[in-house]
Amino acid sequence: MAKLFNTVKVGAFSLKHRVVLSPMTRLRTIQPGDIPSPMMADFYGQRASEGGLEIIEAASISEHARSYLGAASIFHDGQHEGWKAIADAIHAKGGIAFLQLIHGGRQSHVDVTGGRLPVAPSEVPFDGVALTKDGFVPVSPHRALGRDEIKGIVEDFRVAAERAKKAGFDGVELHAANGYLVDQFIQDGTNQRTDEYGGPVDNRVRFMRESLEALISVYGADRVGVRISPSGEWGGISDSNPEATFSHVARVLDSYEIAYLHVIEPRIKGDDTLHHGHPTVAANYLRPHFSGPIIAAGGFERDSALEVVESGVADLVAFGRHFSSNPDLPVRLKDNLPLTPYVRAAFWGGDEKNYSDFPAYERPVAEDESNVAVDVEAV
């Protein structure tokens, strides 16, 4: 059997396969107060599998951490039952559920932060957008965080982890990718501070370390993962030497013995064409620096997923687009069954249509010599 479908130990858990649901912001918290909706529980429950890992979409850790209207949050009591329903739906099918935690940083707008200016390590203007009641609009001007404020955000991460644990999630993932706040601290294009949170790379990862330690204080290291995007440019992010920076990040994370390192592989700049079939880039140079499980994400198809896991560059593969329209994706990949095309128009907001209404694969029905229909699996 291909290694992609073999068991693997990830932190505190023994998974039965290596096909992971990637966190996807789908903007379905349509109730006031960012309360997770029943259709979200349906969506995640449909995609759960015995011994499979699901990483649930990014949940903002506070009101001023929000970036997108309709995106998930986990900072007040009214959200508890919605999150619990999602964790319960996954556990009902024997799945493992990690909740991704995020602070959007400068990628935001005052209309979604409760009127507060977005924050960042430094004031470095950029052309970004945030989603508000008026649709996607230019981000609001942001301001640099004071040192004391940083400690408060670290505490927000800790409290969010406590809420996730109370709701029944098996672990949490620190979102340190895609140009959001943790990533803004890591990379020197956005971090121009001169205090202990800026300058040398070891200072620039201080906020990541403190936030990670806050999550570990709640869950333990073996139930915490971290997602990074070493080659990403979303949100105007940049670094003068990304390979050196993220090799250091990997070594730092390795020292904590976390459950996994989740790496977003690069995509072609300028459009949405993916590196289908291309070798991984980030995971290739990070592998020597991180001894735990690596999850690779970013445009994988069945063949490229099989290849990257067989090579040992990554241990698991996370799928987003294909999982969005194929709730039984691990089975389809294992048996090489046709995939239902995803519907891009439904990615960012909407209702159940093209979200939680995709069926599992229906195997053909054959007729035996007596003209009685039987399932091909039973023949």
Phi-psi region at 135: left, alpha or beta (left = phi > 0; alpha = psi -120 to 50): left
Using one digit for the tens of pLDDT, what is the confidence trace for 133-168? 999 999 999 999 999 999 999 999 999 999 999 999
- Report yes or no: 263 and 253 within 8 Å, Cβ to Cβ: no
Residues 357-368 have a mean pLDDT of 80
Distance CA 26, CA 56 (A): 11
Average pLDDT over the chain, rounded to whole? 92
Domains assigned to the chain: 3-378 (3.20.20.70)
Per-residue pLDDT tens digits for 66-118: 999 999 999 999 999 999 999 999 999 999 999 999 999 999 999 999 999 99
Reference 75, options 111, 103, 117, 54; nearest CA is 103
pLDDT at position 279, please?
61
For residue 267, pLDDT beyond 60: no
Catalytic residues: 180
pLDDT at 220 over 60: yes
Phi-psi region of 114 (alpha: psi -120 to 50; beta: other; left: phi over 0): left
What torsion, rounded to 10 degrees, do the Cα atoms 235, 239, 240, 246 define? Answer: -150
How far apart CA 44 and CA 161 sit, in angstroms, is 20
How many whole angstroms separate alpha carbon 283 and alpha carbon 270?
A: 22
- The candidate with the shortest Cα–Cα distance to 292, out of 260, 263, 337, is 260
The pLDDT of 158-179, averaged and rounded, is 98
Output the CA–CA distances (angstroms, integers) from residue 371 to 43, 362, 368, 379, in the order listed: 38, 20, 5, 14
Buried b (16+ CB within 10 A) or exposed e, 140-177: bebebbeeeebeebbebbbebbbbbbebbbbbbbbbbb
Query: pLDDT by residue (tens digit) across 302-343?
Result: 999 999 999 999 999 999 999 999 999 999 999 999 999 999
pTM to 2 decimal places:
0.93
Identity of the residue numbered 129:
V
Q: What does the pLDDT read at residue 369? A: 43
Query: What is residue 364's predicted lDDT score, i.e. its pLDDT?
Result: 80
